[in-house]
Structure 1
Amino acid sequence: MTHWRGVFPAVTTKLNQDGSIDIEATQASIDRLIANGVSGIIVLPMLGENASLQPQEREAVIRAAKDVVARRVPLLSGLAEISTANATAAARKYQDFGAEGLMVFPSLGYKTDPRETAEWYKAIANASDLPIMIYNNPIAYGVDVTPAILKVLADCPTIVAVKEETGDVRRVTDMIIELGDRFDIFCGVDDQIVESMALGATGWVSGMTNAWPKQCVRIFNLCAAGDFAGARDLYRIMTPSFHLDTHVKLVQYIKMAEHLVYGAPEWTRAPRLPLVGEERARVTAIIEAAIEKLRQQG
């Protein structure tokens, strides 16, 4: 069975100002992440504006990612659809495009009940032989893949991991009590990584790693080594920026961080609009404070 460990950034899809995809900038950002020690790459997450892209654009992103990743780390793709038929078809297509795993959202168009949720993931798991990470974000999508639902899915060998994003760090312990080590548990929110790893999470699907891969990998590695005191020092510098990962405008905020840290394009696709006014000033101040503190730290 596949096991994933480490920092898997949820990669932003770089865009030109007119909303078209900037493949070159997207590939450059992926190469930068791998060079700074991440353990996996996830393209087309929510942060990658998956739902705003056309099918041919998703294909282009996956194929471009495959070329630059070049099997150095696992390459996962987000899978976000409304119907089971479209989701299972996408699973097969994404495998053909070069994805080596899937991070699967719940249905985007319907809040499934527990029985329906289990059937949704079973159907997608049976559609291809790619390993699957369940994207559990009930805050955004209204569907909670609880430990009870995971027990129903435990006999699906291709479902191997859970991105845990309930916002309640106690869920890590609840999953381990109920399911042991059956699923790899990935922290899905940046401002709970130290807490989650203290409780047993072994992976991190991270947004702000797009901007600060070296520092995020260091936080993860310190926690993995049991050096939580060392991790806390860096975590406290990063946490105000990490809080931006939990906001409804996380796409704009994280792209702004990338722009300020290393010059990546900040553009998003409408209806998301560029940050302006007080909000832009506030987010910029948070990010620039982290940049300065990291500079002082050396």
Structure 2
Amino acid sequence: MSQQTMRGVFAVPTTPFHEDGSQNIDGLVAGVNNVIEAGVGGVLCLGATGEALALSTQEREAQVRAVVEAADGRAHVVVGCMGYAPPKVSELIRQAGQWGADAVMVTPPFYGGLEPDSAVAALHSIMSVSDLPVMVYNNPHSTGTDLRPEHLATLLDTETFWSVKETSGAASRVRELRAELGDEVEVFVGADGIALEGFTQGASGWVAASAWLLPRPCQRLWELSRDGNWVDAVDLWDGLASPLGQIEDSPAFISLIKQALSRRGAEQGPVRSPLPTAPPEAVEALLATLEELERKPAHV
């Protein structure tokens, strides 16, 4: 598969754990097979807002190698490479390449509250030496820096700038990115609750945590939107938006996805500290919404 085909739904895995706290690689592989069979175009592991930063280097390697082996060329594998200092991020990218990744995702240096010019300068130094295509994750809520289209355009000359994962929530941002970056860079919706809105503005993909739980309807929404079947896309969205909103609006959304999967037969174990655990009432509410969604065959 070429870089030009790296579009569509990229599902974000949970990190299943055994009772003793070790990774449940068999559970991870089962999840990879499930989402690929649903038709997703990629798997993005070690995402920035999940449990990646709570894993050791050995655990990261085990996870990526397992996902690459399970995907077996059927879907692209992208690896999150988050760090404060550019040399650290470059080392993570090098490791991801050794482990078989097709591409990587990076964020601006977090916590420092950098001005956009400083943030893109750091990203430029990383991307200029990367051996893999790079997705830039714009998540101002978590990093403290909003990379607008004009900032991201300064990264085009790195020749590794594959895509943007856009999560600012700005109403017209996907359209603005398309206008500024042209066809050279893919634009992925990064917030599940505004997926359809992003598709109407020309997004070429969706990085979706919810797709780990709901791969078929998420993939179907993308296909309908890609093909311009907006009537059916809106009809599907009317049912899908509710569970996606419940997940995205929860500060414990990783736990919420894990508990829902476990209750539905795909044991995940707990989240790793310091991530919060979703309360029982939130889990029950999500499960009830999922049951309602599944009573509509066209939405499954």
**Within 1, Cα distance between the matches of 2:117 and 2:154?**
9
Aligned twin of 1:250 = 253
Q: 1:42·1:78 contact (CA, 8 Å) conserved in 2?
A: yes
**Alpha-carbon distance in structure 2 between the residues aligned to 1:236 and 1:262:** 26
Structure 1 residue 246: deviation in Å? 4.3
State the identity %.
30
Aligned counterparts of 1:16 and 1:106: Cα–Cα separation in 2: 33
Give the aligned partner of residue 80 of structure 1: 82
User: Displacement of 1:227 after TM fit?
Assistant: 1.1
> Does 1:217 find its partner at 2:219?
yes
- Structure 2, gaps ≥5 residues long: none
Q: Name whichever of 106-115 and 36-45 sits farther off.
A: 106-115
Task: Tell me the equivalent position of 1:12.
Answer: 14
2:271 pairs with 1:260: no
| More moved, 20-29 vs 175-184 | 175-184
Q: Aligned-pair distance for 1:13?
A: 1.3
The correspondence for 1:270, drawn from 262, 269, 273, is: 273
Aligned partners of 1:229 and 1:97: how far apart in 2? Answer: 42
Secondary structure class of the residue paired with 1:46 = coil
Q: Which ranges of structure 1 fall in alignment gaps of 5 or more residues?
A: none
Q: Which runs of 4+ in 1 moved over 6 A?
A: none
Residue 20 of structure 1 deviates from its aligned partner by 2.0
1:164-194 CA-to-partner distances (Å, cap 9, x unmatched) read 0001231011112222223100000111111
Letter in 1 for 2:153: K
Q: Structure 1 pair 262/204, CA: closer, same or farther in 2 (3 Å)?
A: farther
Tell me the matched-pair count.
295
Aligned to 1:290: 290
Deviation at 1:288, TM superposition (A): 2.1
Per the alignment, in what secondary structure is the counterpart of residue 3 of structure 2?
coil
Give the alignment's TM-score, normalised by structure 1: 0.93
Which residue in 1 is equivalent to 2:177? Answer: 175
User: Alpha-carbon deviations, 1:56-113, whole Å to 9, x = none?
Assistant: 1111111111111111111110111121121111111111111110011222342222
Question: In the alignment, is the contact (CA less than 8 A) between 1:186 and 1:203 conserved in 2?
Answer: yes
Structure 1 stretch 120-129 or stretch 192-201: which is displaced more? 120-129
Superposed CA RMSD: 1.7
8 A contact 1:241–1:286 mirrored in 2: yes
Question: If the length of structure 2 is used for normalisation, what is the TM-score?
Answer: 0.92
> Residue 251 of structure 2 aligns to a residue in which SS?
coil
